[in-house]
Structure 1
Amino acid sequence: MIPSIRKTFNDNFKEEYYEGLKEDTVKDLGEPTAFRISETPVFIPKALSDTIFEACDSIIEQLWKLDFDEIRERFIPKELRCPVPMDKPEFLAIDFGMCEDGNGGITPQLIELQAFPTLFFYQPWLGKTFKKNYPTIPQEGFDYFFSGLNDETYFEELKEVILGDEKPENVILLELFPEKQKTRIDFWATRKALGIEVVCMTKVLKEGRKLYYLKDGKKTPINRIYNRVILDELKGIENFKANFSLTDDLDVKYVSHPDWFFMISKCIVPMLKHKNIPESYYLNDFPADIDLTDYVLKPLFSFAGKGVNLHPDQKTIDAIQDKHNYILQKKVQYASVIETNTPKNSKVELRMLYTWNKEEACFKPVINLTRMSKGELINVSYATEDSWIGSSISFFEK
C-alpha cells in the first residue's frame, strides 16, 4: 500500500529471511506455529491509518451509548450468564477488511468486533522478529505498537491488565486443552512474559466458591483468570467434564468476564452506524426487498469463521430455527492490495487490539494483528499451501 516500501521489500526478499523467522519461532517459543506465517508484514500509509483510527474511535464512542443490561438480557440465555461481578471489558478487538472503495483506493470496512483476548503476546514477538530477520524493513518511521508504546512499556501495560495486584502464581491462563489449540504459540509467549501457568479447564479444582490448580504438585489458589475459553467451542465437546463451569458463582476475577464475549460481538454490529461499517440486519428482522446475493450470513457467537455463509439464499434462511442468533451483513470487496512475488496478490484483514486503561477509563490501542489471504475467506485456519498468506502484523506509518 506504500509502493516504494513494497517494491524495496519485494525486490530484496530472500527465502532465507523467511526461514530465519520460522526458525526463531521454535528457538524462542518452543515449537512452530500451528498456523501459517506470511512471508511479509503489511505497511499501512498514514492516511489509511488515520481513517482506521477514526473508525475505531467512532465505534468505541457508540459502544458506551448502548444499554448493555438490555443486550445481556436479549442475547445471553439465563443459563449461560456468569454471576461473577463484571467490570469493564479488559480487551477489545476490531476487525477491518481492507476493501476497494470504488474509486481505485482502499477503505477499511468493519468485519466484526469482540471483547475477548487474542494473540497479545505472540504479535509483539512477530513484529520484533520480522525486523530482526528482514533487513529491508524500515527501522524508523513505522511501528506495530500504538499509543507510544514500545517493547518494555507494552508488556508493562499487559501485565497491569492481566495480573492486576496478584502474584503470577495466583493467576492462570485458562483454556480448553491448550496444547491442541491452533493459537497455543501465544499461550507459551504469555507464560514466558508474565510467569503465569497455562491451565486446561479440566485440571482446575473447585472447593466451595474457590478454585485451585496444581503448581509443582502443590494446590495453589486461583484468584484471577485470564480467560481464553470460548463457549462455542466448549459446547461442541461431547461428554466434557470439569470441576467447575463458567456459569458458577465463584470467588474469582475474570479477565475478561465471560459475558463480554457475547455482549460486544457481532450481536451489536446492526446497532452501529458509520461509513466504514457495512449495513447489517438481524436475520429475524431484515427488509424483504434486499438482494441476498449482496449479503453474508453470520452466526452471532461463533469464532474462527465457523458457520459463515458467503452465499446465503432464502431456502437456507428458512431452514434456520434460531434466526435471532444470526445476522446478514452486506458484502464488502476485499482488495488484492498486497503485491507479492507470486502471480497473485494478497488480501488483508486487520485486527486493531485495545486494552482497558483504568487510569484514563477508556480503551487504549496497543498493537495489531494482521491476516493475509488469496481466497474468499480470510482466516489462517483456512490457509492453503499457497505462499504470501497467513498470520502477519502491520507496520503503521507514523
Structure 2
Amino acid sequence: MIPSLRASYNQHFTAQLYQDFLNGMAEEAGEAPAFKVAETPVFIPAQLTAKLVQACDAIIDVIVRPDFKTLTKDAIPTGMHVPNETAHPHFMVIDFAVCKDEQGVLNPQLIELQGFPSLYTFQELMTRQFREHFNIPGTVNNYFNGLNDDTYLKLLQNVITGAYKTEEVILLEVRPHEQKTRIDFYYTEKKLGITPVCITDLIQEGKQLFYLKDGVKTRIKRMYNRVIFDDLLRQRPTLGEHVDLFQDLDVEWITHPNWFYRISKFTMPFIHNEFVPESCFLNQLPSIPEDLGNYVLKPLFSFAGQGVVIDITPEDIDQIKDPENWILQRKVQYAPAIETPDGPAYCEIRMMYIWEDGATRPLLVHNLARLSKSKMIGVTKDKSHTWIGGSCAFFEGV
C-alpha cells in the first residue's frame, strides 16, 4: 500500500527468492509451514498506521474499564467457565480489514478481537526471513514500541515463563502435532524452551498437573494456553480419557481461557468508534434494518469464521433460536488494496498485544497479515490463487 515499496517488491520478486524464503523458515523451525504463506508482506503507509493504532487505543479504553468484567459477565457460555481467572489477559489480538472510504482513503475497520495468543513466535521468524530474502527498507518496521528481534523474544520469554524453569511451563494444545499452526509450537520450543503438550498427555495428581519430560514426570506450574475450548468440546468424543480443564487446578494460565470469550465478538457492541462497524446483540435489535444487505450475522461462540452469514435475509434472523448468542454487524467492504502480479488482493491486519503483570494497559508489539482474493479472508481458502495467505506487515511511521 506504499506505492513505491509495492512496485519495487513486485519488480524484484522471483519464484526462487520465494522458495528460498520458505526454505529458510522450514530450516529454522524444523518443519515447513502447514498453511499457505503469502508471497509478499504488506507495506502500511504512515497515515494508515496512525489510524490502526488510534482504533486499537479506543478498543483498549473499553477493555481497561473498571466495569469490563461486569459488561462481559454473559460472555462465557454456560459450562465453559474456568476457575482462577486472571485480572487481565496476557495476550490479545485485534483484527482489522483494510478498506477505503468514499474519497478512496485507506481506513481500518474492526473485524474481530480475541483475548488469546496468535502466532507470536512464528511471526518473528517470518518477518526476519522476509528481511533476509527480500529488500525490505529500514524505513518500515514490523515491531512497535522500540522492540527488535531480541527484545521481542525476551519479552515473550518473560511473560510466558516468568520466574519458572522452562521445564515447568508447557504449551498446551489439542493434538498439537496435527495442528496447521504447529510450526509456531515447534519454533516456540526452539526459541523459548517450552514443550508443546497435548491435553491427553497431562497427568493429574490431586490439583497438580504433570507431564513426561524426556521420560521424567515433571510438575507443570504454568500453561501457555493454545487450546480453543470450542474446538476442545468438538473433539472431546474422539480424544479418549483426558484431564478436565474446567476444574480448580493448581496451575497458572497464560492466557486464562475465560478471556477468549470476554474479549471477542461479544465486546464489539460496547465499542463506538469510526473504525469499528456498528454492532448489536441480535436479541437487543429494535427492528430489522431496511438495508439488511449491508449487515453480516455472526455467532458469538465460534472461531475461524465458522457460522458467519454474509448475505442475510429476514428469514435467517427469524430462524435463529438463540439470538442472545449472535450479533448483527454492519458489513465491512474490503478494498482490493494490494497490487499483485495476478490481480489485487484484499487484506486483514492483526495487531498483536502483550499485557505484562502489573501493567495498566497491554503493549502493542507485533502484527500478522492475511491476504486473500476471495470474499472470505483466510489462509486455508482460495488455494488456486497465488499471492495470498498468511503474512506480516511492515509499518511506516513506527
Q: Which residue of 2 aligns with 1:204?
A: 202
* Contact persistence 2:355–2:363 (CA under 8 A): yes
Measure, in 1, the Cα distance between the counterparts of 2:312 and 2:66: 29
Amino acid paired to 1:208:
G
Q: Partner of 1:95 in structure 2?
A: 95
Does residue 59 (structure 1) correspond to residue 59 (structure 2)? The answer is yes
1:206-228 superposed Cα distances (whole Å, 9 cap, x missing partner): 11100000011111000000000
Unaligned runs of 5+ in 2: none
Residue correspondence of structure 1 range 248-259 to structure 2 within 5 A: 248-259=247-258
Note the 1:1-398 alignment, pairs <5 A. 1-65=1-65, 67-134=67-134, 136-138=135-137, 140-239=138-237, 240-290=239-289, 291-342=291-342, 344-398=343-397
Supply the AA of the counterpart residue of 1:211. Answer: L
Is 1:246–1:258's contact at 8 Å kept on the other side of the alignment? no
- Partner Cα separation in structure 2 for residue 158 and residue 192 of structure 1: 13
Contact 2:96–2:108, Cα closer than 8 Å, also in 1? yes
Q: Distance in 2 between matches of 1:116 and 1:137?
A: 30
Identity %: 44
Equivalent pairs counted in the alignment come to: 395
C-alpha distance in 1 between matches for 2:372 and 2:75 = 32
Partner SS, residue 381 of structure 1: coil
- Please identify, of 125-134 and 286-295, the stretch whose mean Cα deviation from structure 2 is larger: 286-295
Q: CA deviation at 1:243?
A: 3.2
What is the identity, as a one-letter code, of the residue corresponding to 1:98? V
Q: Report deviation, 1:242.
A: 4.0
Give the letter aligned to residue 229 of structure 1. Answer: V
Give the superposition deviation at 1:238: 4.8
Q: Aligned-pair RMSD on alpha carbons?
A: 1.3
Shift of 1:72: 4.7
Which amino acid in 1 is paired with 2:142?
Y
Contact kept, 8 Å, 1:175 with 1:229, in 2: the verdict is yes
Distance apart, 1:300 and its partner CA:
1.0
Whether the 8 Å contact between 2:298 and 2:326 is mirrored in structure 1 is yes
Deviation at 1:65, TM superposition (A): 2.1
Q: Deviations over 1:176-226 (max 9, x none)?
A: 001111111111111111101100001001111000000111110000000
Q: Which runs of 5+ in 1 are unaligned?
A: none
Counterparts of 1:238 and 1:152 in 2: how far apart (Å)? Answer: 39
Is the Cα–Cα contact under 8 Å of residues 46 and 396 in structure 2 kept in the other structure? yes
CA distance in 1, matches of 2:364, 2:93: 10
Q: What amino acid maps onto 1:107 in structure 2? A: N
Contact 1:144 1:395 in 2 (8 A): yes
Query: Partner of 1:74: helix, strand, or coil?
Result: coil
Alpha-carbon shift at residue 70 of structure 1 (Å)? 2.5
Deviates more, 1:86-95 or 1:221-230: 86-95
TM-score normalised by length of structure 1: 0.96
On the 8 A contact 1:190/1:196 being kept in 2, the answer is yes
CA distance in 1, matches of 2:330, 2:276: 9
Contact 1:87 1:257 in 2 (8 A): no
CA contact (8 A) 1:201 1:242 kept: no
Change (3 A) 1:45 1:72: closer
Q: Amino acid of the residue matched to residue 143 of structure 1?
A: N
Shift of 1:246: 2.3
- Which residue identity is paired with 1:192? K
Higher alpha-carbon deviation: 243-252 or 149-158: 243-252
Amino acid at match of 1:113: L
Contact 2:17 2:133 in 1 (8 A): yes
2: distance between equivalents of 1:49 and 1:73? 33
Aligned residue type for 1:369? L
Greater alpha carbon shift after TM alignment, 202-211 vs 233-242: 233-242
Tell me, in whole angstroms, the C-alpha distance in 2 between the residues paired with 1:3 and 1:315. Answer: 44
Distance across 1 between alignment mates of 2:286 and 2:66:
23
Partner of 2:163, secondary structure, is coil
Bigger mean CA deviation after superposition, 246-255 or 287-296: 287-296
The answer to whether the 8 Å contact 1:304/1:381 transfers is no
Equivalent residues of 1:175, 1:200 under 8 A apart: yes
TM-score (norm 2): 0.96
- Is the CA contact (8 Å cut-off) linking 1:84 and 1:252 kept in structure 2? no
Q: Structure 1 pair 66/85, CA: closer, same or farther in 2 (3 Å)?
A: closer
Cα contact 2:121–2:187 (8 A) shared by 1:
yes
CA distance in structure 2 between the aligned counterparts of 1:71 and 1:324, rounded to whole angstroms: 14
